[in-house]
Amino acid sequence: MDPRIREHASLLVHDALEVEEGDDVIVKAAPVAEDLVVAVFEALGDVGANPVAQYTNRGGRAIRAYLRAHDGEFETPDHEMALVEEADAHIHIRADANVTETSDVDPEQNSAFQQAQRPILNERLTDDWTLTQYPAPANAQLAEMSTEAYENFVWDAVNKDWDEQEEFQAQMVEILDGAEEVRIVSGDTTDVTMRVADNPTLNDTCSHNVPGGEVFTAPQPDSVEGEVLFDKPVYQQGREVLDARLVFEDGEVVEHSASKNEDVLTEILNTDDGARRLGELGIGMNRDIDRFTYNMLFDEKMGDTVHMAVGRAYEATVGEGNEQNESAVHVDMIVDMSEDSRIEVDGEVVQRDGTFRFEDGFEE
Amino acid sequence: MDPRIREHASLLVHDALEVEEGDDVIVKAAPVAEDLVVAVFEALGDVGANPVAQYTNRGGRAIRAYLRAHDGEFETPDHEMALVEEADAHIHIRADANVTETSDVDPEQNSAFQQAQRPILNERLTDDWTLTQYPAPANAQLAEMSTEAYENFVWDAVNKDWDEQEEFQAQMVEILDGAEEVRIVSGDTTDVTMRVADNPTLNDTCSHNVPGGEVFTAPQPDSVEGEVLFDKPVYQQGREVLDARLVFEDGEVVEHSASKNEDVLTEILNTDDGARRLGELGIGMNRDIDRFTYNMLFDEKMGDTVHMAVGRAYEATVGEGNEQNESAVHVDMIVDMSEDSRIEVDGEVVQRDGTFRFEDGFEE
């Protein structure tokens, strides 16, 4: 077995989670991720935890067949709920045999199923949990990479010195935590400002997402003004939205367009009121993620990018007394900041063309 | 997908079990059985049941890694117990990527783990459950067959007219149900008698085992007299016992031998007192199972064979007031009855050289 798989497993069990003897753990994975499941089981055996391995119910052949055959009246299964209620920790390993496996499932059918699964997801979120990616060939294909190159990409992004990364990111957290207002400028297509005053900034390293590598906070929902062109594709339910452009007034999207699949963008924005406002501003700081791979777990942490999400804000990023944006959706979209771009905080440039104020080579 | 896989899945969901809308079902399988899992999910979607797919925790790479890393102090996991307690039905699909995967796990370690899993198994036995086999290449290899030939073998044995099979077997149940004593004679190496009076005979068709195809009852533990040479290998924890021979007096094994791995046989018999007495007499009646494949799920149902198990008797085969043999083990062993053999019930020949009294060509 590739030694990087054991390193990956150890990070999940000992760093992202801190699994202890006697902990009841659920490992959710697709068959194609078996190598990492084996390494995780080894690590769990070593600490004396109790694993149950469950097939993921997203995206595989079995769930496709199930969803196509079902009449659509889904319920929340009692036995799965009982399993999750009694569990202490959750390791969710993403990997696909075919990323378009559910492309011929009626999206409404899928959405009704996910709705019925929602209480189980919510219950899981009350425990320790971590989400990661195994570099399966189909995921390499989505990233337009060879399997070996994609393996290198994934494990470079995952198996790193997370203490060092945390310190690096903490410098940006410190800047944002005291800030009132953030302005993002890129070329002549993006110039947007938002208030973040009193909203905490989180330092995401090796915890709920492996890899981590972003710092993120919530804009105040009514405060966003300006326009943004998202350079990177938005990949939603198997469809790619290109050149998504949003114009904000008083926090609300008042104009939008896209060069491809604009209707998908419209659909997202029309989900509910909160879907037309920002719920997150994130700064990607994992420089081992140096390319876009159509996988938000990696893309949003890419070095030299920022992302904004329309929809739901994370509770932990909303300060006491501030409004939390509510929505059924949370869709991240990415702006490339590597050229002709800057992040300003309270009028001071803190990043220019991807280089932070606290790094060598920064030019104010 | 091979249409026989859908037929197999339909038998599991609608015949072996009678899954209904809203039932909470656990599907336990190894990744190599994915095709059958997909077909089962389709059938479960069609009836509106709620499946959770769990990786089997026997025999795979993950459990091997876990068992080798663990200190040996296993406990019964609360979350897995909760899952099983809330479930209505269980479909357990056997299939291996490598049947010798756990050959380098300390047998004591494995046994301690199974011991901790025992309450979960017992809980499962209180629900509806069925056990079946998917024809994976490694299982074909164990049977010394090509994968395609093994697929044909498995699906011929599984996908049959079970109503017709049940009627065929019922004729033998009727004979045994009123019987006092059974005598099994084969060549000059096997001649054994046992009392079965008042012990019910069960008709196993398409229920807990798919395929089924035996009728079975329990001998009275103290009644077995004579000797038996088991012609077919006894395959136990990856080791093959050849030419196992048992001599019984007052129901107890007083002498035993084997031409290969006699120590394995000795170990089985020394487990406890009940391991030296018979717990089952079964008559194999599934004629589509026409060869030995080192898989007891099939072997014990082979046409023209009988099997006897040392160890635990099934409760349902023990009549009121009769003694139930108790043991931690239940090891089936097979006698070929196709030549120079007969089954006598209360002094009358009911099968000679594999042909039953109720069949054409029977010669008393």
Q: What CATH number corresponds to the domain at position A25?
A: 3.40.1830.10
Cα distance between residue A28 and residue A31, in whole Å: 10
- Cβ neighbours of A87 in B, within 8 Å: 79
Residues A173 and A221 in one domain: yes
| pLDDT for position A353 | 96
Residues B127 and B169 in one domain: no
> Is residue B364, in this structure, part of any structural domain at all?
no
Which of B40, B48, B75 minimises the CB distance to A22? B75
Task: Give every strand in the sheet of B202-204, ordered side by side.
Answer: B202-204, B214-217, B278-284, B305-311, B330-336
> Is residue A36, in this structure, part of any structural domain at all?
yes
- Nearest Cα of chain B lies from the Cα of A87 at a distance, in angstroms, of 5
Cα distance between residue A307 and residue A300, in whole Å: 6
Query: Per the structure block, which two tokens stand in for A324?
Result: 């939390």
Residues A64 and A140 in one domain: yes
**Confidence grade of residue A21 (pLDDT, cut at 50, 70, 90):** very high
Q: Taking 90 as the threshold, does the pLDDT of residue A9 lie above it?
A: yes
Rounded to 10 degrees, what is the CA torsion of B311, B317, B322, B323? 20
Residues B58 and B153 in one domain: yes
Domain boundary (A93, A123, A158) is at: A158
Residues A332 and A183 in one domain: yes
Which of A41, A44, A54 minimises the CB distance to B53? A54
Rounded to 10 degrees, what is the CA torsion of A304, A310, A314, A315? 140
Residues B110 and B123 in one domain: yes
- Cβ neighbours of A62 in B, within 8 Å: 34, 37-38, 40-41, 53
Task: Give every strand in the sheet of A202-204, ordered side by side.
Answer: A202-204, A214-217, A278-284, A305-311, A330-336
- Nearest Cα of chain A lies from the Cα of B156 at a distance, in angstroms, of 24
> Is residue A361, in this structure, part of any structural domain at all?
no
| pLDDT for position B328 | 85
Residues B111 and B176 in one domain: no
> Is residue A216, in this structure, part of any structural domain at all?
yes
Q: Taking 90 as the threshold, does the pLDDT of residue A236 lie above it?
A: no
Arithmetic mean of pLDDT over chain B:
95
Cα distance between residue A89 and residue B34, in whole Å: 26
Residues B248 and B210 in one domain: yes
- Stretches where chain B sits below pLDDT 70 are 238
Residues B264 and B311 in one domain: yes
| Interacting residues of B292 by C-beta distance below 8 A, sequence separation 6+ | B232, B233, B299, B302, B334
Q: What is the mean pLDDT of residues A144-172?
A: 97
Cα distance between residue A88 and residue B325, in whole Å: 41
Domain boundary (A141, A158, A175) is at: A158
Domain of B152?
Answer: 3-158
SS3 B174: helix
Least confident of A86-90, A327-331, B163-167, B303-307: A327-331
Containing A163, the helix (H) or strand (E) segment is helix A162-177
| pLDDT for position B56 | 86
Residues B151 and B295 in one domain: no
Least confident of A109-123, A200-214, B42-56: A109-123
Contact B52 A77 (CB under 8 A): yes
Contact A79 B26 (CB under 8 A): yes
**Confidence grade of residue A239 (pLDDT, cut at 50, 70, 90):** confident
| pLDDT for position A63 | 95
Q: How many domains does chain A have?
A: 2
Domain boundary (A158, A183, A213) is at: A158
- Cβ neighbours of B55 in A, within 8 Å: 37, 53-55
Contact A79 B86 (CB under 8 A): yes
| pLDDT for position B119 | 93
Cα distance between residue B216 and residue B218, in whole Å: 7
> Is residue B363, in this structure, part of any structural domain at all?
no
| pLDDT for position B239 | 81
- Cβ neighbours of B57 in A, within 8 Å: 53
- Give the pairing of strands B209-210 and B128-133: parallel
Contact B78 A86 (CB under 8 A): yes
Residue B329 has a CB neighbour count (10 Å cut-off) of 17
Residues B178 and B131 in one domain: no
> Is residue B361, in this structure, part of any structural domain at all?
no
Phi-psi label, residue A238: left if phi above 0, alpha if psi -120 to 50, beta otherwise = left
> Is residue B180, in this structure, part of any structural domain at all?
yes
Cα distance between residue A303 and residue A5, in whole Å: 24
- Nearest Cα of chain A lies from the Cα of B40 at a distance, in angstroms, of 8
Arithmetic mean of pLDDT over chain A:
95
> Is residue A55, in this structure, part of any structural domain at all?
yes
- Beta-bridged to residue A316, according to DSSP, are none
- Nearest Cα of chain B lies from the Cα of A88 at a distance, in angstroms, of 9
Contact B61 A24 (CB under 8 A): no
Residues B248 and B109 in one domain: no
- Cβ neighbours of B61 in A, within 8 Å: 34, 38
Residue of A171, A166, A156, A217 lying closest to A15 (CA atoms): A166
Q: How far is CA A276 from CA A146, A196, A255, A279, B199, in A?
A: 38, 18, 10, 10, 73
Chosen for mutation from B32, B75, B79, B104 (greatest number of chain A CBs closer than 10 Å) is: B79
CA within 13 Å, CB half, B108: 3
Contact B54 A55 (CB under 8 A): yes
| Interacting residues of A24 by C-beta distance below 8 A, sequence separation 6+ | A49, A50, A52, A86, A87, A88, A89, B77, B78, B79, B80
Q: How far is CA B263 from CA A255, B227, B230, in A?
A: 81, 19, 16
